[in-house]
């Protein structure tokens, strides 16, 4: 803090101690939420086998610190492989072998056989739900409520993807006639996929990529995120039993931080990159591919989603939605509201109610009922958040909520910072954490200029009670962002809707049906024919209805 008085420093120390006291001792952790730190062995899935790792290890620590003898410690939950480049390349070779230039048993399988294998995996995930939830709480600090919601949403998504695949198969059976040509269009797989999800939704974002990729007939290498590692180990055995060798492979990060994913990209053997993370990370990976024009890119990247609170907005609605939108899972979501533009005529009223809402958010451990602010998983995250606040304070802003910015270990009390100058880092950069910058404005053009000139273009939340103004602003924003939310927070769902971003916010729209399309490409079988002569399209090519050759992968043996 800058030039604080003795009283202010004392208050800061007191509130920091209050945060420290929120961490439990080992005995205070409820029995049903304790974790067996010796129950997870360092293993990985490669070429159809669950293998024990014998090399260097990387610790998996928890942001849920434990008080012990007057100190606060970040506990170690388990160890996972600190993988070397050769093992990662072997995983890629296994996926290439299973693909076999599109001639492997999985890419040639009938869609119904693929569905059966995915259903076996879904059964495994459903049975392990409570253990997944517990691991999400301990590894990334996500609340019990939000952890369960993530797993439930993932299960629902997989079910919808299975149904969408069946519906697509029915549509593919019909033929088309035009200009004397009879044709049938089917969805064909693309090849070997490298899938990389983020830590903030490590189950949902990983398996809403992997399952569509597999249903489409591709093979995959999954690189687990740095945080949220252990839930994936619960599925290794089932995946090995349900899919042919090499179809699904998992890799971890390297011992010394070497770019394992970059090594795979440099081979030129990755056909699809599905990546959720920063635009800089995506650009670095794509640049390593020697033949980038052959690379299908499915990218969901960063965002600086603004909320616009107009002079005629319903303040109660705006406050409720902005609290949820800016601080859900501590603001660690790409869809979070990252900056609020508030008309100067209602700024005082909005801030008063908004700060009251923020200060009312319960802070504590993930299993505590109703908790909203929980420990941050990334190392030194509280230091990073404090640096954003200090930069804004040095440029004329103040922290306007009670205790905002106080921290202890991995806990950080949300900070509402106002008025944030356009020269502040919080104005432009994506903070991904519990700091909410607020900027006063006079004319709507300010927001439009912010969105138009910025690097991102994912979403906007517009709060207005004036239908004419709303229609005008919506019309002008529709060519700048992928989604405009009227009087509600930014979000991805429901999953039947496209999720897309402009500029550095992403590439490829995602929804259940569109993700399936993204992992496939249309293949046309055509012949000169007369209407009704479907035999020319089906029999000579050995095509089974739905696009497969009738060759089946091994049946799931149950998980």
Domain ranges of the chain: 28-301, 305-494
Residues of the chain with pLDDT under 50: 1-4, 6-7, 539-547, 551, 555-559
What pLDDT does 531 receive? 53
Q: Model-level pTM greater than 0.95?
A: no
- Work out the angle between the directed axes of helices 445-453 and 467-477 (0-180°, nearest 10): 20
Cβ pair 115, 166 in contact under 8 A: yes
28-301 CATH fold: Aldehyde Dehydrogenase; Chain A, domain 1 (3.40.605)
Q: Using CA atoms, how far apart are residues 487 and 475, in angstroms rounded to an integer?
A: 16
Helix, strand or coil for residue 66? strand
Q: Using CA atoms, how far apart are residues 170 and 193, in angstroms rounded to an integer?
A: 26
Q: Using CA atoms, how far apart are residues 505 and 305, in angstroms rounded to an integer?
A: 10
What pLDDT does 16 receive? 82
What pLDDT does 37 receive? 79
305-494 CATH fold: Aldehyde Dehydrogenase; Chain A, domain 2 (3.40.309)
What pLDDT does 182 receive? 86
CB atoms within 10 A of CB 174: 9
Distance of CA 44 to the CA centre of its chain: 22
What pLDDT does 12 receive? 63
Helix, strand or coil for residue 166? helix
Q: Using CA atoms, how far apart are residues 553 and 247, in angstroms rounded to an integer?
A: 10
**Helix (H) / strand (E) containing 98:** helix 85-99
DSSP-derived pairing of the beta strands 296-300 and 272-276: parallel
What pLDDT does 1 receive? 34
Q: Using CA atoms, how far apart are residues 168 and 152, in angstroms rounded to an integer?
A: 24
Q: Using CA atoms, how far apart are residues 559 and 542, in angstroms rounded to an integer?
A: 33
What pLDDT does 542 receive? 39
Which residues are CB-neighbours of 515 under 8 A, at least 6 positions away? 161, 208, 209, 212, 298
């Amino acid at each position: 803090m800058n030039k604080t008085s003795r009283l202010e420093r004392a208050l800061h120390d007191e509130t920091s101690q209050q945060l420290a006291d929120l961490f439990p001792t080992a005995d205070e952790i409820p029995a049903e939420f304790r974790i067996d730190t010796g129950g997870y062995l360092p293993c990985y899935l490669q070429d159809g086998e669950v293998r024990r790792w014998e090399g260097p290890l990387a610790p998996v620590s928890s942001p849920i610190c434990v008080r012990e003898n007057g100190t606060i410690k970040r506990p170690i939950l388990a160890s996972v492989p600190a993988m070397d480049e050769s093992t990662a390349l072997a995983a890629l070779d296994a996926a290439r072998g299973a693909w076999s230039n599109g001639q492997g048993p999985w890419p040639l399988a009938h869609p119904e056989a693929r569905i059966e294998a995915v259903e076996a995996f879904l059964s495994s995930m459903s049975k392990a739900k409570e253990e997944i939830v517990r691991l999400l709480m301990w590894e990334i600090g996500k609340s019990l409520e939000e952890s369960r919601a993530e797993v439930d949403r993932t299960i629902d998504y997989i079910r919808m993807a299975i149904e969408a695949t069946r519906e697509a198969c029915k549509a593919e059976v019909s033929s088309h006639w035009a200009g004397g040509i009879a044709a049938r269009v089917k969805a064909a797989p693309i090849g070997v996929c490298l899938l990389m999800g983020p830590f903030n939704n490590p189950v949902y974002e990983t398996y809403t990529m992997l399952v569509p990729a597999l249903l489409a007939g591709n093979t995959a290498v999954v690189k687990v995120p740095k945080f949220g590692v252990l839930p994936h180990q619960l599925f290794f055995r089932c995946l090995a039993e349900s899919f042919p060798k090499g179809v699904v492979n998992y890799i971890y990060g390297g011992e010394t931080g070497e770019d394992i994913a970059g090594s795979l990209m440099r081979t030129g053997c990755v056909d699809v990159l599905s990546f959720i993370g920063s635009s800089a990370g995506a650009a670095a990976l794509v640049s390593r591919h020697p033949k980038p024009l052959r690379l299908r890119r499915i990218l969901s990247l960063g965002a600086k989603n603004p909320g616009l609170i107009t002079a005629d907005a319903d303040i109660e609605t705006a406050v409720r939605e902005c609290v949820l939108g800016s601080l859900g899972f501590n603001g660690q979501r790409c869809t979070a509201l990252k900056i609020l533009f508030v008309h100067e005529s209602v700024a005082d009223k909005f801030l008063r109610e908004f700060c009251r809402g923020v200060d009312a958010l319960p802070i504590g451990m993930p299993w505590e009922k109703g908790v909203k602010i929980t420990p941050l998983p990334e190392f030194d995250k509280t230091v990073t958040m404090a640096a954003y606040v200090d930069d804004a304070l040095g440029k004329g802003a103040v922290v306007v909520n009670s205790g905002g910015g106080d921290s202890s270990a991995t806990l950080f009390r949300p900070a509402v910072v106002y008025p944030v100058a356009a020269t502040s880092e919080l104005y432009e950069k994506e903070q991904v954490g519990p700091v909410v910058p607020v900027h006063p404005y006079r004319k709507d053009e300010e927001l439009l200029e912010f969105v138009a000139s910025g690097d991102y273009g994912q979403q906007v939340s517009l709060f207005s009670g004036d239908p004419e103004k709303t229609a005008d602003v919506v019309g002008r924003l529709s060519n700048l962002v992928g989604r405009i939310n009227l009087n509600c927070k930014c979000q991805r769902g429901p999953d039947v809707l496209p999720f897309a971003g402009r500029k550095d916010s992403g590439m490829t729209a995602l929804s259940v049906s569109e993700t399936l399309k993204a992992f496939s490409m249309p293949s046309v079988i055509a012949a000169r024919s007369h209407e009704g002569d479907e035999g020319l399209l089906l029999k000579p090519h050995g095509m089974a209805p739905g696009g497969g050759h009738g060759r089946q992968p091994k049946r799931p043996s149950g998980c």
